[in-house]
Amino acid sequence: MMESEVKLPPDSAKVCKDAAAYIQERLPNGFSPKVGIISGSNSPVTLDHLNPEDERVEINLKDIPGFVKSTVVMSQANRKLLAGTISNTQVIVMLGRIHYYEGYSLKQVTLPIRVLKKLGIKTLIMVGAVASISPDIKLGDIAVISDHISLPNITGLNPLVGPNISHMGPRYPTMTDTYTYKLRKTLFKCWLKSEYLQTRGVNLKEAIYCYTSGPSYETRAECRALKICGGDVIGTCINPEIVVAKYCGLDILVVCAVTSMAPFSKETSALEAAMADLEGRKLVATKEEEDEDILSYKDNIKKSVNRGGDIRNLIIDLVSAIE
């Protein structure tokens, strides 16, 4: 059967069109956004950071046709779409995202990207949080994503599965060089030139993002496997949207705060521990094990230095540089 003969999922194209039309009707006359910014519940960019001299628009995400309600703990009142300008660049900012692990389809999770594309954006900036599995990327660092490893994509949970909407993108899009090199280079230049960020001790590190579906965290063995595969950080969001953004032909930048260190070292052998007990010996924990104990998931104390303001400064500098 030819692609043109395949029926699209029920109203999928119409849902995208209706959502874009709803937003467009509420934007200022002549507003033509070039940059889209999407973040989670702790967005570094809010209405206050858009130029007050220019008209600013605020829309509740729950009111946009086709946009589903997030089940993640976050006030629904804070889940908004903002429109305005940063420097002289017209932008759309989305506060709040949907995760696949909430039970929605990947089409629903990635609908906002298709809508932003329809509204005319050329560049997508996504902000998130990750756990590090690299000794070179520390708690409180900011990871600039250069590539990704997506086990869900590889094993069939790809957001592009299903009939293709040909005017949005190709049937078989390449994911090579997904994360726009020029944007990453510009971001690093902004960081190197910022006396404020250097004084703050902000460290920017390029990293390969490992996407897992969540909501459960990874086992030690899974973390080690991802590290062996070349991964640096792990997260449970962003990747489905990035795949669709690449498919849509957008320039892409992803910036993530490193908010935890994933426990990936091997536990002490239970046999060795049993033998030590019977022999009256005490096993000495390694420094790595002690660090992981201090930063354990169950105690929920693996929090990074608050980097929201630092990421905001980087994004504002970047948008100003690419106008």
Tell me the pLDDT tens digit for each residue of 295-312.
544 443 344 557 888 999
Instruction: Establish if 102 belongs to a structural domain.
Output: yes
- Tell me 80's DSSP state: E
Instruction: Establish if 113 belongs to a structural domain.
Output: yes
> What range does the domain containing 238 cover?
3-267+300-322
Q: Which amino acid does the sequence have at 270?
A: A
What's the domain count of the chain? 1
Instruction: Establish if 187 belongs to a structural domain.
Output: yes
Number of C-beta neighbours around residue 233 at 10 A: 26
Prediction pTM value: 0.89
Instruction: State pLDDT tens for residues 227-280.
Output: 999 999 999 999 999 999 999 999 999 999 998 888 877 778 889 889 989 999
CATH code for the domain in which residue 135 is found: 3.40.50.1580
Instruction: Establish if 107 belongs to a structural domain.
Output: yes
Number of C-beta neighbours around residue 300 at 10 A: 8
Instruction: Establish if 275 belongs to a structural domain.
Output: no
Instruction: Establish if 96 belongs to a structural domain.
Output: yes
Residues 6+ apart with CB under 8 A from 192: 198
Instruction: Establish if 294 belongs to a structural domain.
Output: no
Higher-confidence residue of 210 and 6: namely 210
Instruction: Establish if 59 belongs to a structural domain.
Output: yes
Give the tokens for residue 222: 């899974």
